[in-house]
Structure 1
Amino acid sequence: MKENNLINRELEKQSRGWSSRSYVYGAVSSFLSTFVTFPIYKTIFRQQIHVFVMREAIRQFQQEGLRHFYRGLLPPLVAKTVQGTLLFGTYDTLLRFVSANHSGPYKLRDRWKAGFMSGSLEAVVLSPFERIQNIMQDGRKNVRFPDIHSILRYFNSCGFKEGLAEGYFRGFSPVLLRNGVGSALYFSFKDPIRDCLSGKGLPSWLPPLVSGSVNGTVTCLLLYPLSVLIANMQSQVGQETLSIGESMKSIWESRGKKVSLIYRGGSLVILRSCVTWGLTTAIHDFLQGNTGRKQE
């Protein structure tokens, strides 16, 4: 474990220029973890939209059949791969840039700045993917939009300006806030938690797994109301666009003004976040550590 930390810290002290490895590591780790967590994610989405308990969401999947269960897999698979590429790659590049004026270990404020900027860039690129994904996973739209091409045709028929605003980038503001703050929190505490657990006689893969699981879970739970808001805003098609305040008020009232109903699906968020961010962080650090050993 100490050897892994020394390797990671040595990599931090190396050239602060652009490196393609971080982009590759992010892509591979996110791609692999997406396969494991897609069924969990889709169940959470149904709970966010319909305020279902878990067994009701599962019953709805059974009624729709296996063919529709994996409907909507391609957008998150592509989006998560691109997300990992951007998130880890641009974070590494931006971190080297914002900390270029001083040497030594990266400071908390530098990790926060780089994480927030990386998450914001990720939001700009991935918001259209999330928009399409949320429409496809809403069972009420299976007939109207049977596939991705039908959604794209509808967006393109709205005209360029209206298609961007009402189609691909509907609900963009809360996506920007969630991704920026979420990435800043994740990268600020990922390495400190991992380093704190290292050197305690644990297997080398366990500290990054626990770090990613704990950090990702806490971050997702804090920002979960924003995810509910985004899911409801982006799943709407052809309806009047409400402001963020109006959308929040509508969701709050539809949930009976109960926080427990806002967090419906929260138990699965814990499971999904533990698996997703734990695997992603462990795979990423494993690839990074192996590269460090080869360089030595």
Structure 2
Amino acid sequence: MDHRDPHQRYSVDFFCGLSSAVITTLVTHPVNKLIYRQILEGGALKDSLTRLRLEGLHYLYRGALPPMFQKAVSLSTMFGVYNVALVPMKKLHMAPRTEHFAAGFIAGTAETIFCPFERVQVLLIKSEYHSRFKNMFHTFIDLRRTHGILEYYRGTAVVYWKNTLSCSMFFVMKAEVKKHYGKEDASVTKNLLNFLTGGVLGAAMTTVLYPYKTVQVYIQKDIGGRFLTSREVILSIYSKGGVKLFYKGVVLNSIRALLGWGVTNSVFDYMKEKLNRL
């Protein structure tokens, strides 16, 4: 068990989470943009890919700043809060899986504070808003001026359940897998194992919870008007295309998650090990 002061532990986890978030966003944003486009446009992958190609490189990383900010603060929060939350959990003498699940749930709850970044990302990716919003900061200002701060939090309930369930699942499964790591594994082997662990778990986790992402995007793609409930949006999506519409873009999302979570987990664990040796 790590006997360092919780504040020191949080600082290390915060920095490692921030660093892994920046690297992961730069690597996966183009793929993530294709996924959002498939959900928003409802077309085939090749159609969304063609539209992105026609828009050019100028728009390829449009919308990258919100997820970079969001990932930087949310991953920092996720890993930091999770490790700090484990301290009181262990004092309650829970079963190990329950400890990891509860700490992950708390971390996911804390992550939801940053929902506005996901909201703005959806608007910047939607092609209809290219001429209205210049960048992340302009979008935040425009939304507040025209519709108020509450507009930032459209879709928060769905984001909350997506975050809490995904964090809980990830940390429980990661702890189980790491039990089988060899203690004398070489550095390269550990990095590869961390990449594969994060990638496989992330892909499985996001695939299972993918309908939450679809509902979130449908809720957050509009501006103004009444806030639709999750039930209303689910029924609307189903009436348009049945169950398969909830999984539009799921294959590409699984590939993105495999790469993204692999990078995130390996970079985080590598940096944390190095910093703990200082």
Matches within 5 A, 1:201-280: 203-255=189-241, 257=242, 259-280=243-264
Give 1:150 shift.
Answer: 3.8
Name the amino acid aligned to 1:63: L
**Residue of structure 2 in register with 1:174 after alignment:** 158
Q: 2:125 aligns with which of 124, 130, 137?
A: 137
Give 1:79 shift.
Answer: 1.0
Partners of 1:191 and 1:211 within 8 A in 2: no
Partners of 1:194 and 1:207 within 8 A in 2: no
Give SS of 1:70's match.
coil
Q: Number of paired residues?
A: 274
Q: Sort the Cα spacing of 1:198 and 1:47 in 2 relative to 1 into closer, same or farther, 3 A.
A: farther
| C-alpha separation in 1, matches of 2:268 and 2:178 | 13
Q: Sort the Cα spacing of 1:137 and 1:280 in 2 relative to 1 into closer, same or farther, 3 A.
A: same
| C-alpha separation in 2, matches of 1:77 and 1:201 | 32
| C-alpha separation in 1, matches of 2:170 and 2:112 | 15
Partners of 1:229 and 1:247 within 8 A in 2: yes
Partners of 1:132 and 1:148 within 8 A in 2: yes
Give 1:201 shift.
Answer: 6.7
CA offsets, 1:229-250, max 9 Å, x none?
1111111112432111101111
Give SS of 2:273's match.
helix
CA offsets, 1:32-84, max 9 Å, x none?
11110000100000011111221111111122222112111111111111111
Give 1:199 shift.
Answer: 5.9
Partners of 1:76 and 1:129 within 8 A in 2: yes
Query: What do you get for the CA RMSD once the two structures are aligned?
Result: 2.0
**Residue of structure 2 in register with 1:55 after alignment:** 46
**Residue of structure 2 in register with 1:5 after alignment:** none
**Residue of structure 1 in register with 2:100 after alignment:** 111
Name the amino acid aligned to 2:141: R
Structure 1 portions without partners, runs of 5+:
1-11
**Residue of structure 2 in register with 1:29 after alignment:** 20
Q: Sort the Cα spacing of 1:254 and 1:290 in 2 relative to 1 into closer, same or farther, 3 A.
A: same
Name the amino acid aligned to 1:119: G
Give SS of 1:196's match.
coil
| C-alpha separation in 2, matches of 1:260 and 1:44 | 15
| C-alpha separation in 2, matches of 1:21 and 1:147 | 31
| C-alpha separation in 2, matches of 1:148 and 1:133 | 8
Relative to the length of structure 1, the TM-score reads 0.86
Structure 2 portions without partners, runs of 5+:
none
Relative to the length of structure 2, the TM-score reads 0.92
Identical columns (%): 26
